[in-house]
Amino acid sequence: MKGKTPNRIRSIFAHLVLIILSFMCLFFFYILFINATRSHADLQKGFSALPGNYFFQNFMNVANDGTFPMLRGIVNSLVVSGCSAAICTYFSALTAYGLYAYDFKLRKIAFTFIMAILVMPTQVTAMGFLRLITKMGMYDSLLPLIIPSIASPAVFYFMYSYMQSSLPLSLVEAARIDGAKEFRTFNQIIIPIMKPAIAVQAIFTFVGSWNNYFVPALVIQSKDKMTVPILIAMLRGADYMNFDMGKIYMMIMVAIVPIILVYLFLSKYIIAGVTLGGVKG
């Protein structure tokens, strides 16, 4: 009985901590939903814990605004974020596999070079990047938001570290002995093993691309090609006489729905990866 009491206290304390953390995480989503249901005049009055009656009106105000292509912006962000997540995770895993499974002379130099790029901020190369895509005829298009995702040192390093801990080279050698080609080995053997890592980085890449404002604001000019962050900034920078906080909160709420759906879709792979790591440990 003496041993059960401390365990029960620890269990109660752990549950209390989890409840508090869950409340802190979900509280801001709740407030966002509440504000999206209130009018601009109600929002100016201050905080409210109860929803208002302007949810559908705010949604229709955003959807029917001829100067604000909400649906088009969401589609643009989905295309950019989805393609970026797909090519970033695939080619980063492929690069990590090349450096992990092959032993060649420039292996350490290549790894060091990729890690050196990791510490270089995007803003430093922004002007050169803008001049390059202008000369290539890709200015004011979605391609400059997708193609650079192929080279992601941070995702590469994560994939490389995951391979070191979860991918035995004997498995690769066995596939080679069986006559499997390198791309077949990677696509049919390595990718299934890397699913938890790919799911985690796909979420991070998707969210990062979805929330990216700097590069789209730099290269996109046409309204029909703008992404969600630029459109939200346009609402926030509207004329004072036409400024509507209800529309802004509604747009932000709509903008986070795809992120939540992507997380829910990929979360099972993350949980599977954590469970697998716990069993190995």
- What is the chain's pLDDT, residue by residue, as a tens digit (281 residues)? 555 677 788 888 888 998 998 888 888 888 888 888 888 788 878 777 788 888 888 888 777 776 677 788 888 999 999 999 999 999 999 999 988 888 888 888 888 888 888 877 777 777 888 888 888 888 888 889 998 888 888 899 889 988 888 888 888 888 888 887 888 888 888 888 888 888 888 888 998 899 888 888 888 888 888 888 888 777 765 555 566 788 888 888 888 888 888 878 777 776 665 554 443 44
Burial class (CB in 10 A: 0-12, 13-18, 19+), 26: exposed
Chain-centre distance of CA 257, in angstroms? Answer: 13
Topology of domain 56-280, CATH: MetI-like fold (1.10.3720)
Q: Check residue 227 and report its DSSP letter.
A: -
Q: Alpha-carbon distance 121 to 201, whole Å?
A: 19
> Residue 80: its pLDDT value, please?
93
**Beta-carbon neighbour count of residue 264 at 10 Å?**
9
> In degrees rounded to 5, what are phi and psi of residue 152?
-130, 95
Q: What is the CA radius of gyration of the chain?
A: 24
Nearest to 158, CA basis, from 273, 35, 24, 251: 273
Q: Alpha-carbon distance 164 to 167, whole Å?
A: 6
Structure tokens that stand for 276 in this block: 């697998």
Find tokens 């814990």 and name the residue: 49
Q: Alpha-carbon distance 227 to 69, whole Å?
A: 10
> Residue 280: its pLDDT value, please?
45
pTM, full prediction: 0.80
> Residue 238: its pLDDT value, please?
56
**Structural domain boundaries of the chain?**
56-280
What separation in angstroms does the CA of 158 have from each of 172, 177, 255?
20, 28, 27
